[in-house]
Chains A and B, each alone.
Chain A
Amino acid sequence: MKIQEADAKSLLLAGGLPVPSWKVARTPAEVEAAARTFFAAGAERVVIKAQVLVGGRGKAGGVKLAGSAEETREVGTRILGMDIKGITVRKVLVGAAAEIVKEYYLGAIIDRASRRIVLMASAEGGVEIEEVARRNPGAIHRVSADPELGLLAFQARALGLAIGLRDPLLSPFVAIAEGLYEVMKANDADLVEVNPLAIVAETTPDGTPTRRLVCLDAKVTLDDSGLSRHPALEALRDLDEEDPTDAQARRLGINFIHLDGTIGCMVNGAGLAMTTMDLVKHYGGEPANFLDVGGGARRETVRGAMELILGDTKVNAILVNIFGGITRGDEVAAGLIEARAQQLREVPMVVRIVGTNATEAARLLMEARFETATSLDEAAEKAVALSKGASL
């Protein structure tokens, strides 16, 4: 699950990391009021950042500086309501603009290959890390946390030294790296990223210039499998930004991604669901969704999944492809029959059920007069034909 920058910053702050203060605003008036508090505290300029879960908001014009309260209101008016990659901006983060001396990248991820938490750092901060990985992979330094002992101080030091940090900023970097690792563990995150981690120039209350490392941005994604043990984090889910069908799919425990085509797909297993989509395209159709009913789906789940598919008015044909292992074919067939009895609109459907309890499923489907297919290719071809108006 992705969470907004402001929520990610709250998690970093709770982990003891240095994050400059911010406010979240939902209207231009709130933006101005928030900006005034930062100006009153001595800020020369404030930064206004769109809170959206998609990348590239800076390039899209969703991050702007302003030098006066009036200007922040104008900027707020422009950014709020703006469309960034199909997402409407409903809130912004407001904070004092930092005087940045140098930008770094620091991130913690779960690395599949080494099967460890890996911390990555780069002196090329403030730009997309994927871009750095492509252009100059040697500029990204990595250390792997010990599976049992965790991230060790010498590893964090090595990372800080590798990106060129020295006294007096090395110790703060080590504390930040260790904090990042702890934030990851404490929240079951699979990614915690600070980009940029910046050296900023500040003035202490007595007028002395000083430099310190602060987290100017934060990105955290949470492991969906760990969410059930962090009920407070579930509240960070941004319902504004998700399709209403996402919540419905979550309640049913199925994986659902809405796409633009006309053929609704219901499949068990993510790999087979992707393959089914690939074959629908291969035979000239367009899938309306990716839908994995999961392992061991019961009839209620199948009924709910069918509702989700039919809720998309562009769907004009449905392809059900179930290869039963832990999922039992007869249970799916029973769910399909119940769903059809209740559904509000009639859409041509082709059903393929093989594997566990397929014989019982075949009997149920035959009695209920469902159109069936034996092979995956045959099912995909039939669904494409149905979608193009053919009657089988």
Chain B
Amino acid sequence: MAPLLTLIVVLPLAGFLLNGLFATRFGGNRVGNGFVTAVACGAPIAAFLATIACLLRLQAGGYAPLTETAYTWALIGGKSFEIAFYFDRLTAVMTLIVTGVGSLIHVYSTGYMKGDKSYARYFAYLNLFLFFMLMLVLGRSLLVLFVGWEGVGLASYLLIGFWFEDPAKAAAGKKAFIVNRIGDAGFLLGMFLLYQTLGTLDMDRINAAFNAATLPAVSASLVGILLFIGATGKSAQIPLYVWLPDAMAGPTPVSALIHAATMVTAGVYLVARMSGIYSHAPEASAVIAVVGVATAFFAATIALVQTDIKKVLAYSTVSQLGLMFVALGVGAYGVAVFHVYTHAFFKACLFLGAGSVIHALSGEQDILKMGGLAKKIPITFATFALATAAIAGIPPLAGFFSKDEILWFAFASSHGGSTLLWLVASITSLMTSFYMFRLLWLTFFGASRMSHEVEHHVHESPLSMTGVLAVLAVLSAIGGFFALPHFLEPMLPLPEVVPALHHYETTLIVIAVALGFAGLAAAAFLYGNGARRADALRQRFPFAHALLTGKYFVDEVYDLLINRPLLWVSDRVLLRFSDRVLLDGTLNGLAAWAQRTAGTLSRVQTGNLQLYAFLALAGIVVALVWTWAHV
């Protein structure tokens, strides 16, 4: 059998190497943009086809997981660390999302990045990202997953700071990288603990160990929480979500691919993959549910008032990731993956639509300076509107199905579901619907608020962009009909529903749909009439508006509580005291003392050769006399 799994991973790596070594300035610009486009788009599409081949093979084998060892990394005392790949139902779904949406976004990028002077570098990084992301989802052991996990962080850093001439963008890249390191510390500790107890990092073996009759001698909740700390970094949950909104500094297709569809869902994938641990860790699951719902709620409130088109979508992503973690927290792992899947379609579509709008408006991102675009860029508008309806949970679009299932399990799961959880999640989805339709209204409807010059240049994007938008819009519309949780059920069983709550199911669906339309109605009411009602509302609650516009001043609080004390300690204690006073002082003091002593002693050296000879003679004579007297 051909090593298909390895092939999936290696294809984007080959794309990265080819473009990086031959087409970038580093490689001497030896080939043109035609080559770059062919290689960069060819690699992910080929990987997508290989994934489909793997899926067929998986199906033919009755869904027994495929494994493949690509390379033995190290053999230490009988233990081997292998780069091995593992392909089961969950991997299949994730790999299809990554390569599928990834391919689409590569194609879109050829239009969006056309004319950028670092065209080849961009695609090299994008392929590098895909390589690490595929390592992450295909890796059999936590070690390989971690390599991918760090690698996507690197690629994310490189792409956020892609236009590094702008210091703010470079700083956003650094922020993303550093915040993620904090989460990774927890991840590493969790891995150490698992390896110490179980002696293996293979995830299927870890799950099997936790599902065995006798539980391993390690607290599942402790391991679960440590791994979840890693997930809060990568998947932008409280308290480490602060990097994601800033990450919008990168090119828009990057935001769509990395910061909406794939990389940020790595944390969800990790928890779902480690469901064996979490199903035995009610405390860790409760923490996940609470953090998830809190993140979903707070991010949604911030999104209500943002005026940067990408920032709204960024906070929306944080909020949707929060909902996924709610699903994980109540044991509905398959449902969380379902939401990852639908979210990948509609959020990628929204981001790419936003990219198309920004492209049309020559770089304008402020929705207060848009308006009335519906007629001017109709394809972008149609796809954006469809994706907005999908994320708002309007049936029968994709978002409705996955969000409704999350709300249902948040309410009725016997594994930590509660009315309060459902209530907060429902309010969040109401806000989601509201801010998304607000975005739609301010961008596409009403009178134009563009400057004359910008308005003059408005144009629909090329086919490479609109075509991708159309494909993603169709997927956002029909994606929900594929019952993913049932496909995953043999390996990620859904939690049992509290029997007494069964008859509420229809009521909850009605409420969810009503909330979706309520958000639409509220947005239409407030922003339909030239946004006058919204202005009035803002003037009535200036404090709340300032708080939300300032994003609860979390960045400022972090700066005050963490950055400044750290800087103070580094400067005063470490640099000025420890380094300069203690270390340099000791060394300089020793040196000065030696110099002074040497100065005194050097007077003995007269430079008179004959005196030296005489003293040597005297010494010999004394020695001889002493020897003669004593021996």
Chains A and B bind each other: no
A residues whose Cβ falls under 8 Å from a Cβ of B: none
* Chain B interface (Cβ < 8 Å from any Cβ of A): none
